[in-house]
Chain A
Amino acid sequence: MAAAPKLTHTATMILQAIDAGYKYGFSIMEVTGLPSGTVYPAMRRLERDDLIRSKWEAQKIADLDQRPPRKYYRLTPTGKTTLAAAQQRYPLMAGLIPSPEDASK
């Protein structure tokens, strides 16, 4: 089995945010404090490395809210394994990013 890729601090934060339930670009920017020019290229890299996967929201749901559909991101099984390995490298990372429910309280 191939070794899990080593992630940078930024990539780990983004992966952690997606795992915590922040599923689209702007929410990840908000919770990590990173600018869009960092977040989006990092997410492209993570998707290229098969650590996350993107999916467009159904048009029907977006139409009900009268807004354009959003692209949502989720972790792949490889992404989960890699994040677990990265959390051992950056043990304080998990505490930095609250879940969306905790954040809204």
Chain B
Amino acid sequence: MLQPRLCNTLLQRTTIQAASLLVPQCHRADWLAEWLAELRHIQQQCPAKAFAFSLGAFQDSFWMLRNHPPSSRAITLSTTSPGSCILMLTLLAVLSATASLLNPAAQMAARLLHSPFILWHPFLVALALLLVSISTPLHVMAPPHRSSVWLWTFFALKIALLAVPVYCGTLIAGSLFPPITPHALLIGYVLGFRWALDDHRRRCPICLRLLSNPVTIGTPSQTLLDWYGTEFICILGHGALYVSGDQLSFDSEQRWQHLDHTWKELFQRH
């Protein structure tokens, strides 16, 4: 059995090491060396203060995180453009499928699930769609003066790709605790569909890029006098999206303002 003193030492070191995960990698080794060196001295001089000391590492690591953002990233996973979004979801689907195929317990869970699963799986998907439609409006902007086939193809592709990590993730979770599998699958589908819809609403209906540069308009305390909400723009200059901050008023639906060619000059450098 571990000695209480050794347990305390381990706990204090683990606390500092956990906090170090927040520190940007380029500063982490130096940061960790300083905290662990000080901890060692405190453990020798006044052990009673060591745990309180180690807890302070979180405040310091948060400060490091806020003030030393990672300067460069080798791979930036982003969902900004439709291509990168599909790529990221495909990657997620492949990784989750591989993880569940390599996990014998997950395969066992899949075999156990499969006979009744064929019957209730469509019902589960329909229930998830119903829950999403209750929790959020289904309105999605259509592109002005052009076909929306590409828009809906992209949406369908996102849903299809999202279903894979949700299903595989549920199998992995279900292998640990089988009774939760159907519930976890339903929750996973609801969250996945909700994300797909929210993501779709924040995209330009013309180029399908995520809208950016949010600007707050109006003040929540003056709802009777003026509209308030957030304006997003398409970085390529296709238009602006107005999202109401008031979910209860008649004007709570988001509005798309198409920008014509006269605005092009403003976005030229993009």
What 1/0 flags go to A69-81 for Cβ under 8 Å of B? 1110000000000
The reply to whether A37 and B64 contact each other, CB–CB distance below 8 Å, is no
Restricting to A31-51, which residues have a CB under 8 Å from any CB of B?
35-41, 44-45, 48
* Binding-face segment, B32-40, B141-149, B256-264: B32-40
Please tell me if the beta carbons of B59 and A71 are within 8 angstroms of each other in the complex: no
For chain A, give the interface size range: 10 to 19
Inter-chain contact A44/B53, CB cutoff 8 Å: no
User: Please, which residues of chain B bring their CB within 8 A of the CB of A25?
Assistant: 34, 38
Query: Are A36 and B60 closer than 8 Å at their CB atoms?
Result: yes
A44 to B23, CA, bound (A): 13
Cβ of B180 within 8 Å of any chain A Cβ, yes or no, is no
Task: Name the A residues within 8 Å of B40 (CB-CB).
Answer: 67-68
Residue of B nearest to A39 (CB): B56
B41 within 8 A of A: yes
Q: Are B56 and A35 in contact (CB under 8 A)?
A: yes
Contact residues of A: prevailing secondary structure: helix
For the complex formed, measure the closest distance between the CB of A28 and the CB atoms of chain B, giving whole angstroms: 10
Q: Output the least CB separation between B43 and chain A (Å).
A: 11
**Residue pair B52, A36 in contact (C-beta under 8 Å):** yes
- The answer to whether B59 and A37 have CB atoms under 8 Å apart is yes
A25 to B33, CA, bound (A): 13
Chain A proximity mask over B2-38: 1 for CB below 8 Å, otherwise 0 = 0000000000000000000000000000000111111
Given contacts A37-B60, A41-B63, A70-B38, contact A26 B33 (CB under 8 A): no
A29 to B64, CA, bound (A): 19
Given that A37-B58, A37-B59, A40-B56 are contacting pairs, would A70 and B37 also be in contact in the complex, using a CB cutoff of 8 Å?
yes
Structural contact, A44 and B59, CB atoms closer than 8 A: no
B72 on the A face (CB < 8 A): no
Q: Is there an interface contact between A36 and B63, defined as CB atoms closer than 8 Å?
A: no
Interface digits, B57-80 against A, CB 8 Å rule (1 contact, 0 not)? 111100110010000000000000
Instruction: Name the residue on B nearest A36 (C-beta).
Output: B56
Additional pairs, 19, CB under 8 Å, beyond known A39-B56, A40-B56, A70-B38: A26-B53, A36-B57, A37-B58, A37-B59, A40-B35, A40-B57, A40-B59, A41-B59, A41-B60, A41-B63, A44-B60, A44-B67, A48-B67, A67-B37, A68-B33, A68-B37, A69-B33, A70-B37, A71-B34
